[in-house]
Structures are given as structure tokens and as C-alpha cells.
């Protein structure tokens, strides 16, 4: 039974109505006569109180049905008017006066004031045991609350059955929308809409309702009478976190406490559904990452790879395959949400418009991607879009620590499945070797082979000795003196010895640059115009990132 059509209970579902209380045997046996407020009998009776003191209003909180024999009403009209006004101001549900020794009939001042204040006033023509009335009303209130819980439990049961039957979040929201008679929304914690169900006024689309009431002002409070219930997060490090938020908007009819109870029950179900979906999503992303890693490391031969890729939903046909690896590494925030990252990156990559297979390897801090190109000539253009999508996905997933460097994206060589295997392996190693290089949207794996070679030699003592011989005097100088000379040398070599361009980038005049280059040659005891010297210095500068 719907609380909007059940007159035993108030329209807000928090107790019983004054009308229902008068229909119970206790008060009905007193032959009640309504003297004022006949149009207010739908008020909520939250509790019953009996008393005979003049200042009884100070003992009440609002919503009470007050029973009295009239001894506290006073004898003068002014006292009686003041008594009724204070009760009305306190917000009691109704005043019930038993006629007898104190009053044979209620005074006109009492009745007139109650009518003016809109306070239901009832006189009882026969004596009734107040304790019996109290017990009956309180029992009815408790039963009403139990009935509300039963209705909320029925919604919970229907939601559970929907999930067991293969339904998901939309089905749960639809059940809640039907029950409340209002549109229901699931938002992210920061107010982004995830799902919507139910219809707005005159059958309006719920998305129009959300956009009109929530979209432009996500930070503003929702309309009065709305129900907002947090859907809790889960997992390590997320205690007390909010994964999403249920929003019920009262645009077709008022929302009652039973609707909040039902929403709270539904929120518990949704928390499990979202957590399960996130776990399944992460497992799927890890599974794809394992496949791509096995392909890269040769555990899957090129002939068998297409069939296994089709099982994972990747069907590039005969298109050239482009391997891409992103290394997040130390930029990963604690307890990183790999499922969130995989979903965000996948959504960003959807706009690229080519077949995509994306997997994650949390242990190595990598995202591996294989794309089907229409032709090898579009490699650079697709690489630009893919790199932007990967980085945007990392930002959307909140995976970077504040102040940490951006992730490294390395693009391999396009080709068949055999080339994809070698390309993924090469790109994965190169992405590690590229940590600390000047940031670029993406690196071409073919242009970082020297850095990869130096990285592989990072633990060999000969590499550290080579760096020390080649640029050790400059490092010692820069530790003791200013201006530092290593940046000047690095910029000079990056511009292939072109002094004008070097001076421009360093914002130096020509003579200052010449003086610094002369000082570098003096400290190193070498000629900066000698090709072999330039090669050795270039290698040493690139290798110094990998040695202590």
C-alpha cells in the first residue's frame, strides 16, 4: 500500500495521523467532537503526552497529541488563549480535552484561538483512560514504522532479485524510481551523472530533469525535500570514502521517509554492484595486460595470437598493429585504481576510431596497448591521439601524485603480430629507460635505442667509470661554483654545436657563451669541435641519469 493513499499514516510516513488516532478504540470510546482544525486532521502524531500544568508547552518538542482534563488551561480567557497559542507555536499535532469536572463544554476563547491558530482541538464527552489511549497510539506508531520498514524491505528484495536475474544498476534505479514515483539519479561523488531512471513531470526525460536541477549547479544544494544517500566506497585506504551518490528529486510528488529508507537499502546494494563491477573490470584489464605481456615476452607465438586476441574482443583483421606502452611508475597514487584508469583510458581511446586492446600491469606500473591501423602512414597521427588519450585517462583516474612527473608514453614500430611482439617488448623496456628525459607527448622507441642500451648497462661499473672520466670535472665544478656548466654543454650538444641557437635558448650573449665553452674545454682538457669528443660527451650526458 502506498503511503500517499493510506490515511492511517501521515503523508511523510513518520507516524500516524490525528484522524487515525481518533479512530482508535480508546479515543473513539470518549465520543470525540472536533471543535477546531477539522481540515488539519492529516497532521502527524509523533507521540502522546498527558498533562495538567499551565506551562506544559515547554515540555513538548512538537508532533505530540496532548491529552488533558483542562486543569492547566486557566480560568480566564486570556490564560486560555495564551495556552493554545503556545501549543500551536510548539507545533503539537492536536489538543484533546476530556470534559468533566473542569469543563462541561470548552470555552469559546479556547475554541476561537485554536481555529485562528489552525490547531486541531477535540473534546471528549466521555471519560477515557489516558494510559489506554497512550498505549494504543504508540502501538499504532510502532506498527506504522514497521510497515514502512516492510515496504522498504520489499524494495530491497526486488532489487536483489533483479541483480540475481542478471540486471544491473539501471534496473535497481528503475525499481527505486517506480517506488518513489520520482526520477532517481546516480552521480559520482563530484556530481557527474552516471545513470538516470524514472520520468519527470508530464513524462519528461529524467536527463532533462537532472540537467535542469543538478547539471548547472552541482555544488548547490538540491531542491527542498530531495533525498541524497551516499553509496560508500571500499577497499584498502578508502574507509569512509564515497563512491557515488543516489539522488531522488521530488518533482512529481513529495518524498517520504520510507523513500529515504528504501534509498539507503538500495545504496548498500549499489555499493556491492559497483565494487564487483570494479573488481571484474580490473580483472579483465589485468587479463588483457597478461596477454600482451606474454605476447611481448614470447610466451605466445605470433600464429596463435590473433585467435586469443579475438577472445578478448580485439579484431584488427589484417591491419598493421601499433604497440604503445605507458609507464606510470612512481607517479601512481597510493592504492591506485587500475580499474578506474583502464575505464578512463578506454573511454578516451574510443574517440581514436581504431581497434584497441588495452591491458594493465600494476606490478610494473604499465599500461599496454595494441592498435589496428588502417595503414602504416597514419602511425604518427594515431600516436598523437593515443598518447593524449592515455595521459588524459591518467588525470581522470586521479593516478598521479601531486607534483610528480607525467607518465612516459613510448610508441613502437607498426607491423604484423611478430612485429607487435617485439615492438611491445622494446617499447616496455624503453619506457623504463626514458624516465627522467625531457617530457614529450610520446617517444618513438626507435630513437631511444642508445638510452635503452645505457639503461641496460646501468649496474655495470664500467658505465659509471666512463661517465666520471668524461664529465666528472664538470660535475665537480658545478657542485662548487656558479654558473653551472653542464646545462650549457648539454644545450650546445643538443643543437649540434650551433652556437647561435645555443645562445638563444640559454638567453646568453655570444661572448658569454664563448667564455663558457672555453671554460668547459679547459676543465675537460679536450676540444669541443672534435667529433669523437662530442660523441663521448653526448653518451656520458645521457648515461648520467642511470648511474649514482
pLDDT in tens, 136-166: 888 888 877 777 778 888 888 888 888 787 7
The x, y and z cell numbers of residue 144, run together, are 506504522
Which of 120-134, 158-172, 189-203 has the weakest average pLDDT? 189-203
Q: What is the pLDDT of residue 169?
A: 80
Cell 596463435 belongs to residue: 304
pLDDT in tens, 251-260: 888 888 888 8
Q: What is the pLDDT of residue 231?
A: 86
Q: What is the pLDDT of residue 39?
A: 92
Under 8 Å between Cβ of 3 and 9: yes
Instruction: Reduce the DSSP state of residue 384 to 3 states and report it.
Output: helix
| pTM score of the predicted model | 0.50
Under 8 Å between Cβ of 360 and 366: yes
How high is the mean pLDDT of the chain?
83
Q: What is the pLDDT of residue 240?
A: 46
Q: What's the rounded mean pLDDT across residues 77-90?
A: 92
Q: What's the rounded mean pLDDT across residues 72-93?
A: 91
Q: What is the pLDDT of residue 202?
A: 67
- For the chain, the distance separating the N- and C-terminal CA atoms, rounded to the nearest angstrom, is 76
CB atoms within 10 A of CB 480: 7
Domains and CATH numbers, the chain: 16-141 (3.40.1390.20), 168-216+223-275 (3.30.450.40), 301-452 (3.30.70), 461-546 (1.10.10.2840)
Which of 41-50, 55-64, 332-341, 399-408 has the weakest average pLDDT? 332-341
Q: What's the rounded mean pLDDT across residues 392-411?
A: 79
pLDDT at position 496 over 90: no
pLDDT at position 238 over 50: no
Confidence of residue 268 (pLDDT cuts 50, 70, 90): confident
Which of 56-60, 139-143, 469-473 has the weakest average pLDDT? 139-143
- Of 36 and 276, the one with more pLDDT: 36
Q: What's the rounded mean pLDDT across residues 86-92?
A: 92
Q: What is the pLDDT of residue 526?
A: 87
Instruction: Reduce the DSSP state of residue 341 to 3 states and report it.
Output: helix
Close Cβ partners of 226 (under 8 Å, ≥ 6 residues apart): 247, 248, 249, 250, 255
pLDDT in tens, 310-321: 878 888 888 899
pLDDT at position 329 over 50: yes
pLDDT at position 502 over 50: yes
Pairing of strands 32-36, 121-124: antiparallel
Distances, alpha carbon 164 to alpha carbons 152, 158, 176, 198, 216, in Å: 18, 10, 17, 22, 36
Distances, alpha carbon 436 to alpha carbons 177, 408, 458, in Å: 53, 9, 14
Amino acid at each position: 500500500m502506498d503511503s500517499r493513499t493510506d490515511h492511517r499514516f501521515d503523508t511523510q510516513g513518520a507516524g500516524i495521523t490525528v484522524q487515525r488516532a481518533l479512530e482508535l478504540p480508546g479515543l473513539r470510546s470518549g465520543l470525540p467532537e472536533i471543535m477546531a482544525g477539522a481540515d488539519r486532521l492529516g497532521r502527524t502524531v509523533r507521540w502522546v503526552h498527558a498533562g495538567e500544568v499551565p506551562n506544559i508547552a515547554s515540555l513538548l518538542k512538537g508532533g505530540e497529541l496532548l491529552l488533558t482534563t483542562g486543569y492547566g488551561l486557566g480560568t480566564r480567557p486570556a490564560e486560555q488563549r495564551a495556552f493554545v497559542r503556545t501549543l500551536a507555536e510548539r507545533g503539537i499535532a492536536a489538543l484533546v480535552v476530556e470534559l468533566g469536572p473542569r469543563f462541561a463544554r470548552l470555552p469559546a476563547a479556547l475554541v476561537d484561538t485554536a481555529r485562528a491558530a489552525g490547531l486541531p482541538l477535540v473534546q471528549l464527552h466521555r471519560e477515557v483512560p489516558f494510559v489506554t489511549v497512550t498505549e494504543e497510539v504508540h502501538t499504532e506508531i510502532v506498527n506504522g514504522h514497521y510497515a514502512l520498514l516492510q515496504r522498504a524491505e520489499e524494495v530491497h528484495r526486488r532489487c536483489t532479485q533483479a541483480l540475481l536475474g542478471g540486471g544491473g544498476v539501471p534496473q535497481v534505479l528503475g525499481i527505486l524510481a517506480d517506488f518513489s514515483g520520482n526520477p532517481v539519479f546516480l552521480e559520482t561523488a563530484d556530481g557527474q551523472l552516471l545513470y538516470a531512471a524514472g520520468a519527470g513531470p508530464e513524462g519528461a526525460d529524467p536527463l532533462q530533469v537532472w540537467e535542469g536541477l543538478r547539471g548547472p549547479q552541482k555544488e548547490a544544494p538540491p531542491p527542498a525535500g530531495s533525498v541524497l544517500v551516499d553509496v560508500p566506497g571500499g577497499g584498502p585506504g578508502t574507509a569512509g570514502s564515497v563512491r557515488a551518490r543516489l539522488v531522488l528529486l521530488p518533482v512529481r510528488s513529495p518524498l517520504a521517509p520510507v523513500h529515504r529508507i528504501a534509498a539507503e537499502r538500495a545504496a548498500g546494494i549499489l555499493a556491492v554492484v559497483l565494487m564487483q563491477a570494479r573488481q571484474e573490470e580490473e580483472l579483465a584489464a589485468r587479463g588483457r595486460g597478461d596477454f600482451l605481456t606474454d605476447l611481448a615476452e614470447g610466451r605466445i607465438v605470433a600464429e596463435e595470437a590473433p585467435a586469443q586476441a579475438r577472445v578478448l574482443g580485439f579484431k584488427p583483421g589484417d591491419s598493421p598493429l601499433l604497440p604503445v606502452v605507458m609507464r606510470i611508475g612512481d607517479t601512481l597514487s597510493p592504492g591506485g585504481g587500475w580499474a578506474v584508469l583502464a575505464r578512463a583510458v578506454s573511454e578516451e581511446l574510443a574517440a581514436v576510431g581504431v581497434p584497441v586492446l588495452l591491458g594493465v600491469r600494476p606490478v610494473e606500473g604499465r599500461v599496454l596497448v595494441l592498435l589496428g591501423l588502417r595503414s602504416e602512414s597514419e602511425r604518427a597521427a594515431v600516436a598523437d591521439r593515443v598518447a593524449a588519450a592515455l595521459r588524459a585517462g591518467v588525470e581522470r583516474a586521479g593516478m598521479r601524485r601531486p607534483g610528480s612527473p607525467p607518465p612516459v608514453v613510448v610508441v613502437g614500430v607498426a607491423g604484423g603480430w611478430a612485429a607487435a611482439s617485439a615492438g611491445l617488448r622494446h617499447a616496455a623496456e624503453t619506457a623504463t629507460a626514458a624516465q627522467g628525459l625531457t617530457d614529450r607527448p610520446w617517444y618513438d622507441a626507435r630513437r631511444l635505442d642508445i638510452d635503452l642500451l645505457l639503461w641496460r648497462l646501468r649496474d655495470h661499473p664500467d658505465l659509471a667509470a666512463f661517465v666520471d672520466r668524461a664529465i666528472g670535472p664538470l660535475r665537480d665544478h658545478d657542485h662548487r661554483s656558479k654558473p653551472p656548466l653542464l646545462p650549457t654543454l648539454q644545450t650546445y650538444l643538443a643543437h649540434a654545436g650551433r652556437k647561435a641557437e645555443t645562445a638563444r635558448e640559454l638567453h646568453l650573449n655570444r661572448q658569454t657563451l664563448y667564455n663558457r665553452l672555453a671554460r668547459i674545454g679547459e676543465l675537460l682538457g679536450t676540444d669541443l669541435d672534435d667529433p669523437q669528443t662530442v660523441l663521448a660527451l653526448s653518451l656520458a650526458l645521457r648515461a648520467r641519469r642511470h648511474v649514482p
